[in-house]
Amino acid sequence: MTDERPHRRLADRSPTGSPGGGPHLPTAVDGEEGIAALTESNRQLKRKIFDLYTIFEISRNFNALLDYHTLLDTFLLTSLAQVGAERGAVYLQDSDTENRFVLTKKRGSGKFPELKHAFTTASPLADHLARLNRPELISDILQHITDPAEREIIENFNPGLIVPLMFQTNLTGMMILSDKVSSAEFTMGDVEFLSILGSQISVAIENSRLYEAETKATEQLRAAQQLLVDSERLAALGELSAKVAHEVNNPLGIIKNYMLLLKRSVADNPESLEYAEITSQEIDRIARIVKELLNFHRPKKETFRKTDLVQVIEETLTLLKTRYETQDIKVVTEMEPDLPTISASPENLKQVIMNIVMNACDIMPEGGTLTVQLKREDMWLVLSFSDTGPGIPDETVPRIFEPFYTTKEAGKGTGLGLSVCYGIVKQHDGAITYRNLPDGGSFVIRLPIPSTEDTDE
Ligand SMILES: Nc1ncnc2c1ncn2[C@@H]1O[C@H](COP(=O)(O)OP(=O)(O)OP(=O)(O)O)[C@@H](O)[C@H]1O
Ligand SMILES: [Mg+2]
């Protein structure tokens, strides 16, 4: 493929063409010609000082800017403004697009290349730019481009300029500028300016990437530590609750038996019988709480068997259908096909699903949507329940799995539902977490897929 466009050259800034774009100094100051030359040389010196000052100011800003995108934006806008180009784009390699330089930032007016077009890091063009290590006119570079997608991008900016971005000896990306708004040619001064700016930005980009990676790693570490602290705290609470529950359980059994005897002895006194009845009901309530507390610590040992989670979800949702439909709650299910079975207690998992769906119903009294999703991620089945309710204040999220944590009014909730869910999921060697979404919240349960995938216990 040959380039039909007129082949451009770099224009010197001085009318007489001083090599390297440096100021042209007249050899003899003679008359009007000499004064004109001196004035031009003075103009060039001023421009150079201005360029250097701009570079100095920008470098200072670059070092202070740690946000990657703001950094690129500043770089591109400054380059466009300084050389007067119509539009420009920065192509960079990132962790998701390992062997390609992709369009990361664009600025200016006019049509830009499509996003899907990218440069490969091992192309002849990349090789050429890395060896060159300075800006080059597009017309001079076209011969090095063999790939049609790369050619498409470059043609989009022709006649323009390409600035390699180098970190140490590696090409980390490139900035491409289109021609000038004024249609004037690029000057050696422009090239010098962009060359210095390009090397400054390359270092700043690497710094901001390192900073971002470090921030992300710190955040992950903090989250992992929090998870550990949370699970330790819940384990300690479980231990304590179980001890209390055991202690309460024995006298409770005795009280229950005596209540039966008492009821029999007051059978002919309706008033006393009614009091005994109420006492009995309250004793049953205590017994339920005690049972759930024990479930939180160590859920009832059901036999684990080959379980189709899709079926468990569907059966539980059918049971709750009347409850959520009368409340104007739309339940949307999105389940991946052909999921493997897991080794589980379907009864206990049903209880988990029921607790979470009931909570969602309680939190959306005016109606809303509950999306139930089931998918596979490596060796896990990931089940999520996302509601369009008000979410949970960030500071209380770590407390929701604690026994007796409730925001419901007295008599409406004991705050044991999620603790029991937590205990059951742990019993399955899984994990349950909650996170707020932009418009609601989401409970995510991860359950392990057995390595043989069809174990029957
Ligand atoms: N989907 C949700 N959106 C917002 N908050 C929720 C949601 N699910 C639970 N919560 C909060 O977590 C608290 C604890 O829930 P949990 O199920 O453990 O107890 P409860 O529903 O209050 O009482 P119980 O389940 O024992 O009747 C709730 O009171 C509520 O504040
Ligand atoms: Mg509940």
Q: Which residue has the higher pLDDT, 350 or 231?
A: 350
SS (H, E, C) 33-101: HHHHHHHHHHHHHHHHHHHHHHHHHHHHHHHHCCCHHHHHHHHHHHHHHHHCECEEEEEECCCCCCCEE
- Same domain as 324, residue 199: no
Cα 416 to ligand 1 centre (Å): 8
Which of 188, 212, 236 is the last residue before a domain boundary? 212
**Least confident interval from 44-48, 128-132, 180-184, 253-257:** 44-48
Token pair, residue 94, equals 């990132």
Residue 232 in domain: no
Residue with tokens 């392990």: 448
Statement: residue 22 has pLDDT above 60: no
State which residues form the domain around 353.
Answer: 305-448
Report yes or no on 313 lying in a domain: yes
pLDDT of residue 441: 96
Last residue of a domain, one of 212, 232, 266: 212
Q: Is residue 54's pLDDT more than 90?
A: no
Q: Within a domain: residue 7?
A: no
What's the pLDDT band for 20 if we cut at 50, 70, 90? very low
**DSSP states of 365-377:** TT-EEEEEEEEEE
Residue 353 burial (CB count, 10 A): 22
Identify the top-confidence range among 146-150, 382-386, 425-429.
382-386
Residues 198-224 have a mean pLDDT of 86
Instruction: Please report which confidence band the pLDDT of residue 189 belongs to, taking 50, 70 and 90 as the band edges.
Output: confident
Q: Which residues contact 261 (CB under 8 A, 6 or more apart)?
A: none
Q: How many angstroms separate the CA atoms of 73 and 164, rounded?
A: 17
Domain count, the chain: 2
Q: 17-21, 158-162, 202-206, 378-382 — which is least confidently predicted?
A: 17-21
Q: Is the pLDDT of residue 337 over 60?
A: yes
101 domain-assigned: yes
Same structural domain for residues 207 and 310? no
Q: Are 109 and 87 in contact (CB under 8 A)?
A: yes
Q: What is the pLDDT of residue 14?
A: 42
Mean of pLDDT values over 150-167: 91
pLDDT band at 318 (very low <50, low <70, confident <90, very high): very high
200 and 343 fall within a common domain: no
Tell me what pLDDT residue 9 has.
65
CA–centroid distance, residue 412 to ligand 1 (Å): 11
Give a yes or no: residue 236 inside a domain.
no
pLDDT given at position 283: 94
pLDDT in tens, 254-300: 999 999 999 999 999 999 999 999 999 999 999 998 988 888 887 77
Q: Looking at residue 4, what is its pLDDT?
A: 44
Is the domain of 58 the same as that of 191?
Answer: yes
What integer pLDDT is reported at residue 66 of this predicted model? 67
Burial group, residue 415, by CB count within 10 angstroms (0-12, 13-18, 19+): middle
270 in a structural domain: no
More confident residue, 414 or 307: 307
Residue among 177, 194, 192, 188 nearest 85 (CA): 177
Q: For residue 274, is it within any domain?
A: no
Nearest CA to ligand 1 atom 10: 359
Ligand 1 pocket test target in 400, 409, 414, 434 with most atoms within 8 Å of CB: 400
Mean pLDDT of the 163-181 span: 92
Mean pLDDT of the 369-394 span: 97
Ligand 2 centroid, distance to 305 Cα (angstroms):
27
In a domain, 453, yes or no: no
Q: Say whether pLDDT at 6 is over 50.
A: no
Over residues 225-239, mean pLDDT: 84
Residues 318 and 439 in one domain: yes
Atom 27 in ligand 1: residue holding the nearest Cα: 413
Q: Could you tell me if 191 and 311 lie in one domain?
A: no
Spacing, Cα 364 to ligand 1 middle (Å): 12
Which ligand gives the minimal distance to the CA of 419? 1
Q: What distance in Å separates the CA atoms of residue 297 and residue 127, rounded to the nearest whole number?
A: 62
- Which ligand sits nearest to residue 358's alpha carbon? 2
CATH code for the domain in which residue 375 is found: 3.30.565.10
Residues contacting ligand 1 via CB (< 6 Å): 355, 359-360, 363, 387, 389, 392, 400, 405-408, 413-419, 441
Give, using CA atoms, the residue closest to atom 12 of ligand 1. 400
Best mean pLDDT range from 12-21, 176-185, 288-297: 176-185
Ligand 2 midpoint to CA 380 (Å): 25
The environment of the single-atom ion ligand 2, i.e. residues with CB closer than 5 A, is 359, 417
Q: What is the mean pLDDT of residues 4-33?
A: 52
Mean pLDDT rounded to a whole number for the chain: 86
Report pLDDT for 453. Answer: 60
Greatest Cα pair distance in the chain = 135
pLDDT band at 25 (very low <50, low <70, confident <90, very high): very low
C-alpha of residue 224 to centroid of ligand 1, in Å: 24
Does one domain contain both 197 and 314? Answer: no
Task: Label residue 447 by pLDDT band (50, 70, 90).
Answer: very high
How confident is the model at residue 207, as a pLDDT? Answer: 83
With residues binned 3-state (H G I as helix, E B as strand, rest as coil), the percentages for the chain, rounded to 5, are 50, 20, 30
**Claim to verify: residue 81 and residue 194 sit in the same structural domain:** yes
Task: Indicate whether 28 and 173 sit together in one domain.
Answer: yes
Per-residue confidence band for 168, with pLDDT thresholds at 50, 70 and 90: confident
CB 58 within 8 A of CB 197: yes
How far apart CA 16 and CA 24 sit, in angstroms, is 8
The residue from 185, 212, 239 where one domain ends is: 212
Protein residue with least CA distance to atom 17, ligand 1: 417
91-108 pLDDT, tens digit per residue, is 998 766 678 899 999 999
If one compares 34 and 185, the residue with the highest pLDDT of the two is 185
This model's pTM is above 0.85? no
pLDDT digits (tens, 9 = 90+) for 345-357: 999 999 999 999 9
Query: Domain holding 48: CATH number?
Result: 3.30.450.40
What is the position in ligand 1's atom list of the atom closest to the CA of 292? 26
